[in-house]
Amino acid sequence: MEPYYYRLGEVYDEENKGLIADIPFYLRKAREYGGPILELACGTGRLSIPLAREGFDVTGLDISKPMLHYARKKAAGLDISWVEADCRDFKMDREFAFIFLGYNSLSHLHDLDSLERCFSRVREHLRDDGHFAIDVFNPNLTLLSRDPDKRFLVNTYEDPLGRGMVSKWESNEYDAKEQVNHIRWYYELGNEEFIEKLDMRIFFPQELDALLKYNGFTIEEKYGDFEGSAFNKDSLKQIVVCRKNEGG
Ligand SMILES: C[S@@+](CC[C@H](N)C(=O)[O-])C[C@H]1O[C@@H](n2cnc3c(N)ncnc32)[C@H](O)[C@@H]1O
C-alpha cells in the first residue's frame, strides 16, 4: 500500500476533521492585518480556503504535490494561488501583509540551517508593516518520554477511499540531543498493517522566542490557545505573532 497520511489529502482531512479551533483565529488575524496572505505549508487548504471564502487574496504554498492536488480540488471556484515549493527555498515577485505557518508545520524543519532559510524567505516576502504567525506545540514532556516500545491508539475512522475501517496507533521516541520526536504511525486496515514515519522538531518556548529574535523578528503577541489566552507554563500551544525588524 502507498504511504498514507501526508500523501493523501482525503485521509489528512478525515484525520483532522475535528481540528477547527484555529480557523477563527486565523480569520480574526487576517481581518486585523489584511491581505495579501501567504500560508506556508498549507497542506489541503484547511486554513487557506476559509480565508479565501472571506474574500482575502490567498496564496498557499506546500511541498507536497498530492496535498496541493486535493487542495485545488476542494477550492474549485475560489481564486487561490497554489504554489508547490519548499518553504526554505521559494521566490515570488510580491510581498504579503500576513504570512503564517500553522498547525505545527515549523516542526518539519529540523535543523538550524532549515529554520534560518525559512525565516529569510519570510522576511523577503513580508511587507515592512506585515505580520508573521507560527503555531507549534508547547512541548509535552510526558508524551515525549513515553516508552518507545508501546503503541497508543490515536483514532479509528472509516477510510475515506472506501477501504473499510482504519485503526491508527502510534509510538514515539524522542531524541533529546537533536530535539526531534520520531513518531511512528501504525495503520491497520483490514488484514494489512503499514507504518508511516513522521519526525517532528520540538521547540521549547524560550528557544522559539530566541530563534525568532535572532532571525530578525520582534514578537508582538504570544498566545497559549486559539481563543487568545496569554501563553503560560500550562499552555498546550505556542502561537506567536511577530513583525520583522526594520531593514529586515
Ligand atoms: C501538519 S500539515 C499542515 C497543513 C495545513 N497547514 C493545515 O493546517 O492543515 C504540514 C504540511 O507541511 C508540509 N511541508 C512539510 N515540509 C515542508 C516544506 N519544507 N516546505 C513546505 N511545506 C512543507 C506538508 O506537506 C504538510 O502539508
Please tell me the distance from the alpha carbon of residue 86 to that of residue 106, in angstroms, as a whole number: 12
Last residue within a domain, chosen from 169, 186, 201: 201
Q: Where are the beta strands (DSSP E) in the chain?
A: 37-40, 58-62, 80-84, 96-101, 126-137, 152-158, 165-175, 180-189, 192-201, 217-223, 237-244
Give mean pLDDT, residues 239-248: 92
Residue 75 lies in a domain: yes
Are residues 98 and 209 both part of a single domain?
yes
Q: Domain check: are 156 and 132 in the same one?
A: no
- pLDDT of amino acid 161: 84
Residue 2 pLDDT exceeds 50: no
Do 147 and 213 reside in the same domain of the chain?
no
**Same domain? 157 vs 146:** yes
pLDDT at 8: 86
Per-residue model confidence as pLDDT tens digits over 24-77: 999 999 999 999 999 999 999 999 999 999 999 999 999 999 999 999 999 999
Does residue 1 fall inside a structural domain? Answer: no
Residue closest via CA to ligand 1's atom 19 equals 86
Q: Where are the alpha helices (DSSP H) in 34-103?
A: 48-53, 65-74
Tell me what the mean pLDDT of segment 212-239 comes to: 98
Pairing state between β 152-158 and 165-175: antiparallel
Give the Å distance between the CA of 51 and the centre of ligand 1: 17
Query: What's the 39 CA to ligand 1 centre distance in angstroms?
Result: 10
Domain with 148 in it: 141-201
Q: 105 in ligand 1 pocket by Cβ < 6 Å?
A: yes
- Is residue 166 predicted with pLDDT exceeding 70? yes
Checking if the pLDDT of 116 tops 90, the result is yes
**Counted domains in the chain:** 2
* Ligand 1 close to Cβ of residue 43 (< 6 A): yes
Q: Is residue 3 part of a domain?
A: no
What is the pLDDT of the chain when averaged over all its residues? 95
Q: Looking at ligand 1, which atom is closest to the CA of residue 104?
A: 1
Q: Decide if 169 is inside a domain.
A: yes
| 145 and 132 fall within a common domain | no
CATH code where residue 103 lies: 3.40.50.150
Is 63 found in the same domain as 166?
no
CB contact set of 34 (below 8 Å; sequence gap of 6+): 56, 97, 98
Do residues 116 and 153 both lie within one domain? no
Is residue 16 a part of any domain in this protein? yes
Asked if residue 1 has pLDDT above 90, the reply is: no
Q: Is residue 2 part of a domain?
A: no
Residues 121 and 82 in one domain: yes
Q: Does the pLDDT at position 156 exceed 70?
A: yes
Q: What is the mean pLDDT of residues 3-29?
A: 88
Residue 128 CA, ligand 1 centroid: distance in Å: 25
pTM of structure: 0.96
194 lies in some domain: yes
Q: Is 136 in the pocket of ligand 1 (CB under 6 A)?
A: no
132 and 23 assigned to the same domain:
yes
Identify the burial level of 214 via C-beta atoms within 10 angstroms of its C-beta, where 0-12 means exposed, 13-18 middle and 19 or more buried. Answer: exposed
The answer, yes or no, to whether any atom of ligand 1 lies below 6 A from the CB of 71, is: no
Of 108, 118, 180, 201, the residue with max ligand 1 atoms within 8 A of its CB, to mutate for a pocket test, comes to 108
97 and 17 both lie in a single domain:
yes
pLDDT of residue 5: 56
Find the 105 Cα to ligand 1 centroid distance in Å. Answer: 5
Residue count of the chain, please give it.
248
105 and 43 belong to one structural domain: yes
- In this predicted model, which residue has the larger pLDDT, 60 or 160? 60
- Domain co-membership, 53 together with 13: yes
Is 195 part of any domain?
yes
First to last CA, the chain: 46
Q: How far is CA 13 from CA 6, 10, 19, 105, 202, in A?
A: 10, 5, 9, 15, 24
